[in-house]
C-alpha cells in the first residue's frame, strides 16, 4: 500500500544488497567507475575553474604531540585535514572564509585560522587543537574557566575561543579586560557570550600568573 519513496526519476534506481557496486551503473558511463577507483583521470574541464590536482602530497604534522602522516589533497585546509583525516572534530568550520575564528588552532604555539591554511604548507610543523589542551584528563585552566564562567551558549565557537585564549595568554600573559576584548575580537560568538568569555580569560590569566 505504501508508495515508493522519492528519488530521481532521470536514471534507474539502485537496488540490491551491494549498493556500492550498484551506483557505478546508476550514474552511468565510466564516470562513476573512475570515481570509485579513486584516481583522477577526469576529462579536461571546459571551464575557467582551476584544474583539479591529480595527486595527493605526503604531509607529516605533529598534532597534539602525536606525529601523523597522510597523503593530503593539496587543496585541503588544515581544518579539513584534521577533521576528515584524523577525526579531530574539536575545531569547527564556521565560515571557511577566515572570518569567524571557530577553526582557531595553535601552529607552533601561535593562533592561526586553520580554514584558510593549506595543510601541505605546514609539513613538519606542530599543531595544538582544543583537544590537545587537556592533559592527562585535566582541563587546561582556560577550559576550566570557560566552563565555570559559562563562556558560551551553543558552544560552536567555543573550541576556537578557548584555543584563541590560550594563544592570547602566551602572547600577553597579563592582559587588561579591554585588551582581552580587543584580542579576542577575531573570534565571533553569535550567541554573544562575550562578557562571560572576558571573565573566563581574565580568571585564567590570574590563575596562570
Partner 1 sequence: MSEQGIGAALTRVEARDKVTGAARYTADVVLPGMAYAALVSSQVSAGRLRSLDVSAAKAAPGVLGVFSHLDRPTWHRVPAIPYFGETRMPFSDDRIHHAGQHIAIVVASTRQQAAHAAALVKAEYEAGKPVPTLEKALPSAYVAAQGNYVNFPQETVRGTPEEALAGSPVRVKAEYRTALISHAPIEPSVTTATWEGDELTLYDTSQAVVVHRGLVATAFGLPEDKVRLVCPLIGGAFGAKTHVWGHTLLVALAARRLGRPVQVVITRKQMFTTTGHQPPTVQRIEIGAERDGRLRVITHDSTNSTSFVAERPENTVLSSVATYAVPNLRTRVRLARMNFGTPTAMRTPGDGPGSFALECALDELAHELGADPVELRRRNHADVHPQSGKPWSGKNLLECYRIGAERFGWHRRDRRPGTRREGNDLIGYGMATARRVEHHRAAESTVDIRTDGGVVVRTATQDIGGGTLTTMIQVAADALGVAPDKVTITVGDTDLPPGAPTFGSITSGSNGSAVRLAAQDARGAAIRLAVGDKGSPLHGLAEDAVDVRDGRLFAKADPRRGETYAVLLTRNRVNPLRGNGKYSPAESQYETSTFGAHFTEVRIDRDLPRVRVVRHLAVIDCGIVLNTKTARNQAQGGIIGSIGVALMEELRQDPVSGRALAPALTDYHVPVNADIGQIDVHFVNKPDHNSNPLGAKGLGEICSIGVSAAVANAVFNATGRRIRDLPITPRRLL
Asked whether the beta carbons of 199 and 161 are under 8 A apart, the reply is no
Cα torsion angle, 6, 11, 14, 15, sign: positive
Question: Residue 90 gets which letter from DSSP?
Answer: S
Give the other-Cβ count within 10 Å of 71's Cβ: 10
Please say which residue, 25 or 173, places its beta carbon nearer to partner 1: 25
Q: Among the candidate windows 13-21, 65-73, 99-107, 176-184, which touches ligand FES by CB under 6 A?
A: 99-107
Per-residue mark of binding to ligand FES, 149-188 (x: CB under 6 A): ---xxxxxxx------------------------------
Specify the residue for cell string 565560515: 95
**For residue 108, what are the contacts with CB-CB under 8 A and spacing of at least 6?**
125, 126
Residue 130 touching ligand FES (CB under 6 A) = no
CA–CA distance, 86 with 68 (Å, rounded to integer): 8
Q: Among the candidate windows 84-92, 106-114, 120-128, 168-176, which touches partner 1 by CB under 8 A?
A: 84-92
Residue 185 touching partner 1 (CB under 8 A) = yes
Is residue 167 packed enough to be buried (19+ CB in 10 Å), middle (13-18) or exposed (0-12)?
Answer: buried
Q: Among the candidate windows 28-36, 106-114, 120-128, 168-176, which touches partner 1 by CB under 8 A?
A: 28-36
Q: Could you say which of ligand FES, partner 1, none residue 115 binds, taking C-beta under 5 to 8 angstroms by partner kind?
A: ligand FES
Q: Could you say which of partner 1, ligand FES, none residue 121 binds, taking C-beta under 5 to 8 angstroms by partner kind?
A: none
| Residues in the chain, total | 209
Residue 156 touching partner 1 (CB under 8 A) = yes
Count of residues that bind partner 1 according to CB under 8 A? 98
Amino acid at each position: 500500500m505504501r508508495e515508493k519513496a522519492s528519488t530521481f526519476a532521470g536514471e534507474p534506481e539502485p537496488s540490491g544488497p551491494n549498493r556500492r557496486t550498484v551506483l557505478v551503473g546508476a550514474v552511468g558511463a565510466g564516470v562513476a567507475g573512475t570515481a570509485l577507483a579513486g584516481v583522477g583521470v577526469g576529462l579536461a574541464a571546459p571551464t575557467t575553474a582551476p584544474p583539479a590536482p591529480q595527486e595527493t602530497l605526503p604531509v607529516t604534522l605533529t598534532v597534539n604531540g602525536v606525529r601523523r602522516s597522510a597523503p593530503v589533497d593539496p587543496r585541503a585546509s588544515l581544518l579539513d585535514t584534521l577533521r576528515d583525516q584524523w577525526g579531530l572534530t574539536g575545531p569547527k568550520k564556521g565560515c571557511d572564509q577566515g572570518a569567524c575564528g571557530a577553526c582557531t588552532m595553535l601552529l607552533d604555539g601561535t593562533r592561526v585560522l586553520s580554514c584558510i591554511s593549506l595543510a601541505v604548507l605546514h609539513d613538519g610543523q606542530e599543531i595544538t587543537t582544543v583537544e590537545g589542551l587537556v592533559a592527562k584528563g585535566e582541563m587546561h585552566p582556560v577550559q576550566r574557566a570557560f566552563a565555570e564562567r559559562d563562556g558560551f551558549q551553543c558552544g560552536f565557537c567555543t573550541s576556537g575561543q578557548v584555543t584563541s585564549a590560550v594563544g592570547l595568554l602566551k602572547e600577553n600573559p597579563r592582559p587588561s579586560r579591554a585588551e582581552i576584548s580587543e584580542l579576542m575580537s577575531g573570534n565571533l560568538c553569535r550567541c554573544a557570550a562575550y562578557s562571560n568569555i572576558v571573565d573566563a580569560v581574565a580568571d585564567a590569566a590570574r590563575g596562570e600568573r
